[in-house]
Amino acid sequence: MKRSWIAFLLFALLLSVFVGCADNGTTEDTSGIGESDSEAVESGGTESSEADESTDEPSTDSLFAEVVELKNGKMYCIDTAEQLFAFADAVNSKKYDFEGDVVLLRKDIELNPTDSIDDWAENPPEKVWTPIGSKAFPFKGSFIGGEVDKTLGYIQGNKSINGIYCPQSKSGAGLFGYIESAEIGYITLGKGLILGPEEGKFGDSAAFAVEAENSTLHACRNYADVYGTSASGIVGTSRRTELRYCNNYGVVNGRDAGGIVMSNEGSTIRGCLNKGEITATRFAGGILAHGSGYGASVIASCANHGNIASEQVAGGIVGFLWEEQSLMTVLDVINLGSVTVNSNTSGDGEGDSAGGIIGNVTAVTIDGLGDFYLKGAVNLGKVGGNVQCGAITGNEPKKADPTKYVDCYYLDTTVSGSVIGRAVAEGELDSEKTFKPLIDNCDWWIDESLGHIYIVHYFE
């Protein structure tokens, strides 16, 4: 009897505890925890893993003007500055890298009015641009200017982004920070300011991409001014990337400065043009500031019209080629701008030089690595300064092999002497500045209306 009474009391006690928990809102507390988790995810909190974020597609309703299904992937259409900023945020917040997709800029847009652009360095405009993509999370899609086509998906056609103001960030300074296996085409950067760090501080700046790897850039044009430690008019560091018909018209200024590319590692630069003023304290080049020693590189059918100046090394096409450079080919190039080096070196300035095509080549043949090859180079620009100067190259390369320098010409008024190439008189050029058959198997002409130089080389 006593045990039954005790059992009854225990049952009653357990029942009261259960009822009490229900009355105290245990169910509501559980719901509240779920809401907190959801808010954390929406605000970019740490509750969501980076891997999950990278697989989420962007919201089509709020970010883009239109989304079109393609045979492979999707096409996200941008019509406004707000949508462009939202696209950048989708990548920079590590939500979506757009791999396999197309981001189509359908209209010319303005990020900031440019009437006060000369004061932006001290009085920045309202909207500050952050480069798209980082090394940890690069952009991997296609960013194209054009129009929607119901049959083809889209038709490429040049579109402009005006008024970009981009100061230095963790990803450098430029429209894109880091792109990988990506494509950028038919985009014009209008007047703007891309502002890297002062010399002595790390940071690269470039109009279109600070770093590009295994990517393609074509028909890109830049009118923005670019400043930085390492600066360029199109791409900063180019690794195994192809640049075709890209033009720079903006000022480029840095320790190392290139009209099209700052540093080239196994890439191809073809049919590109620079008309901007390029100024550097170390290496300056109308097309490329300097090459490095990683894989075969090609510069072909390129032209420089801009004035090139440096305190150490400058070249109308290429500034400096490292001794480790392997398999570098410079083919069918022309320089029409002045190249000047006035050395401010406290020492004797040994190694400082200016060249109409290449400022300085430390070696042209490295055993076991490959050969440097220069063919069809023409310099019409003045070369001068207080350093060693050459109409084609600024120095006499080590291990120079005359068979590696073919069809190189320069005007006899460009510089007093040259290690490489043959001088031609003004009378050997016709009134349209088209070379007569001086160069075997080559034709040269400049199409100013299109902004490109077309140099055709017929291979034997």
CB 333 within 8 A of CB 455: yes
pLDDT given at position 443: 47
Range name among 32-41, 95-104, 159-168 with the lowest pLDDT average: 32-41
Residue 60 pLDDT > 80, yes or no?
A: no
Give, as one character, the DSSP assignment of residue 404: G
pLDDT given at position 378: 86
pLDDT given at position 292: 67
> Which residues have CB under 8 Å from 412's CB, separation 6+?
423, 424, 425
Residue showing tokens 């209306």: 449
Report the alpha-carbon distance of residue 54 to residue 306 in Å, rounded. 42
Mean pLDDT of 64-81: 94
Token pair for residue 434? 């088209």
Residue 202 pLDDT > 80, yes or no?
A: no
Residue showing tokens 């080629």: 321
Quickly name the fold that domain 124-457 has. Pectate Lyase C-like (2.160.20)
Q: Of 136, 202, 140, whose CA–CA distance to 172 is shortest? A: 202
How confident is residue 363, by pLDDT bands cut at 50, 70 and 90?
low
What percent of the chain is predicted at pLDDT more than 90? 53
* Model confidence pLDDT, tens digit, residues 223-236: 999 999 999 999 99
Mean pLDDT of 342-355: 75
State the angle between helix axes of 26-42 and 2-23 in degrees (0 to 180), rounded to the nearest 10.
Answer: 40
Write phi, then psi, for 22 (nearest 5 degrees).
Answer: -65, -40
Range name among 58-67, 385-394, 406-415 with the lowest pLDDT average: 58-67
How confident is residue 141, by pLDDT bands cut at 50, 70 and 90?
very high
DSSP 3-state assignment of 38?
helix
Decide: pTM greater than 0.85.
Answer: no
pLDDT given at position 424: 79
Report the alpha-carbon distance of residue 68 to residue 457 in Å, rounded. 41
Give, as one character, the DSSP assignment of residue 183: E
Residue 190 pLDDT > 50, yes or no?
A: yes
How confident is residue 144, by pLDDT bands cut at 50, 70 and 90?
very high
pLDDT, averaged across the chain: 80
Write the DSSP assignment of 359-397 as a string of letters: EEESBSEETTTEE-EEEEEEE-S-EEESSEEESSBSS--
Mean pLDDT of 296-305: 87
Residue showing tokens 């989304």: 67
Residue showing tokens 């084609």: 392
pLDDT given at position 435: 54
pLDDT given at position 232: 97
> Which residues have CB under 8 Å from 67's CB, separation 6+?
60, 74, 75, 76, 77
| Domain spans, the chain | 124-457
Residue 135 pLDDT > 90, yes or no?
A: yes
> Which residues have CB under 8 Å from 55's CB, separation 6+?
none
pLDDT given at position 55: 54
pLDDT given at position 48: 36
Between 57 and 459, the more confident residue is 57
